[in-house]
């Protein structure tokens, strides 16, 4: 079965409502590694509702999960999450009712043996005032579906990190049970929990969610360069390049140039880069 381009380009869902509260906000912060030191009052601001609860910007990516574009005819067993682009139109509140629309916005045929790129866009607004809250463009890489006869192209441009040495870095350990905790945010893919399934698809153990690595990078950047101020973040883009195994350490390398923080994430134990082309956009 091949990708049906015309069918896929009509796929959309509109007006889907989601609700989240302080429980979800605190769970998300814990699931990407915050709160390991329960006496750290800076991080308690994200994990304890005593005062005004702070929200990690990357949490937007788990608030409105929709499956538009997943049944366009691609081989789902060979499809992976390739890129994530987040734009925050205003800071995320610690709880709220949101309304989201999602649609397929583009499909790029990279040719036989080279796969296809499927782009979907989600736009969310607060129900209370209908003002835009965030937009997400997500890229799926359908590795087995190139050459289906669709339009060709290079895809969306990727941000490049500076060639100089990093201005800062942050090492964060991924606990062995972290994928089990992170999946409670909504992604119940058994690849992140079932040891037998992981072995069947070629991994020695269940792997960490790519978006957990993404959230861990956001945490590390807030901690290292932004004095834990989430409202400064207006966007976060990244390309997923390799999986992380629970129990490893993620090193986030950072470069700051004006209102842009470039970053990449590495697992030093295996000498592999797991996130590339990272870009945090800050409020002017």
Q: What percent of the chain has pLDDT over 90?
A: 90
pLDDT of residue 111: 94
Looking at the predicted structure, is the pLDDT value of residue 110 above 80? yes
Residue pointed to by tokens 């997923």: 240
- Assigned fold of 168-282: Thiol Ester Dehydrase; Chain A (3.10.129)
Any idea which residues carry the catalytic annotation? 187, 192
- What is the three-class DSSP state of 221? helix
- Confidence tier at 22 by pLDDT (50, 70, 90): very high
Q: Is the dihedral of CA 202, 208, 214, 219 positive or negative?
A: negative
Buried b vs exposed e over 7-37: b needs ≥16 C-beta within 10 Å?
Answer: ebbebeeeebebebeeebbbbbbbbbbbbee
Residue 120 has pLDDT above 70, yes or no: yes
Average pLDDT of the residues in 163-190:
97
Mean pLDDT of the chain: 95
- % of the chain residues with pLDDT over 70: 100
Q: Using the 8-state DSSP alphabet, how is residue 50 labeled?
A: T
Q: Over 70: is that where the pLDDT of 141 sits?
A: yes
Listed residue (139, 70, 64) closest to 108, CA to CA: 139
Task: Select the more confidently predicted residue: 1 or 253.
Answer: 253
| Residues 51-64, mean pLDDT to the nearest whole number | 96
pLDDT value at residue 72: 83
Nearest C-alpha neighbor of 104 from the set 120, 80, 85: 120
Return the closest-CA partner of residue 211 out of 67, 82, 71, 68: 82
| Rounded Cα gap, residues 43 and 74, in angstroms | 42
The predicted-structure confidence for 77-109, as pLDDT tens digits, reads as follows 888 999 999 999 999 999 999 999 999 999 999
Size of the chain, expressed as the number of residues it contains: 284
- Domain 5-142: which CATH number of 3.40.309.10, 3.50.50.60, 3.20.20.80, 3.10.129.10: 3.10.129.10
- pLDDT confidence of residue 223: 98
pLDDT confidence bin for 73, thresholds 50/70/90: confident
Q: Say yes or no to pLDDT of 166 above 80.
A: yes
- Give pLDDT, residue 101: 97
pLDDT confidence of residue 181: 98
The per-residue pLDDT for 63 is 97
Strand, helix or coil for residue 14: strand
Q: What is the pLDDT confidence band of residue 192, given thresholds at 50, 70 and 90?
A: very high
Looking at the DSSP bridge assignments, the partners of residue 86 are 136, 236
At 249, phi and psi to the nearest 5?
-115, 130
Q: Which residues pair with 238 in a beta bridge?
A: 84
Determine phi and psi for 277, rounding to 5 degrees: 55, 30
* pLDDT reported for residue 117: 96
**Which whole number is the average pLDDT over 20-34?**
98
The pLDDT score that the predictor gives to residue 201 is: 87
Which pLDDT belongs to residue 1?
Answer: 64
Mean predicted confidence (pLDDT) in 23-42: 97
Residues of the chain with CATH 3.10.129.10: 5-142, 168-282
**CA–CA dist 216, 34 (Å, integer):** 9
Indicate the pLDDT class of residue 191, thresholds 50, 70 and 90: very high
């Amino acid at each position: 079965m091949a990708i049906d381009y015309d069918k896929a380009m009509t796929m959309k869902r509109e007006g889907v409502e989601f609700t989240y509260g302080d429980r979800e906000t605190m769970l998300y912060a814990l699931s990407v590694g915050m709160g390991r030191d329960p006496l750290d009052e800076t991080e308690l601001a994200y994990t304890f509702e005593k005062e005004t609860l702070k929200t990690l910007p990357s949490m937007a990516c788990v608030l409105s999960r929709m499956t538009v574009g997943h049944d366009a005819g691609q081989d789902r067993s060979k499809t992976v999450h390739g890129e994530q682009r987040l734009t925050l139109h205003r800071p995320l509140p610690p709880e709220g009712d949101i309304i989201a629309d999602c649609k397929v916005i583009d499909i790029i045929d990279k040719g036989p043996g080279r796969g296809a790129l499927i782009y979907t866009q989600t736009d969310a607004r607060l129900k209370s005032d209908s003002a835009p809250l965030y937009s997400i463009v997500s890229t799926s890489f359908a590795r087995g579906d190139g050459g289906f006869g669709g339009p060709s192209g290079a895809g969306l441009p990727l941000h490049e990190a500076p060639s100089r040495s990093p201005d800062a870095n942050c090492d964060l350990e991924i606990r062995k049970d972290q994928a089990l905790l992170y999946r409670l945010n909504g992604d119940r893919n058994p690849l992140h929990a079932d040891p037998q399934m992981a072995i069947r698809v070629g991994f020695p153990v269940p792997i960490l969610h790519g978006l957990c690595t993404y959230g861990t990078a956001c945490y590390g950047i807030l901690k290292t360069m932004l004095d834990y101020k989430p409202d400064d973040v207006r966007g976060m883009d990244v390309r997923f390049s390799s999986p992380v195994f629970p129990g490893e350490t993620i090193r986030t390398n950072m470069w700051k140039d004006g209102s842009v923080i470039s970053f990449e994430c590495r697992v030093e134990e295996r000498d592999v880069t797991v996130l590339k082309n990272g870009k945090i956009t800050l409020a002017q």
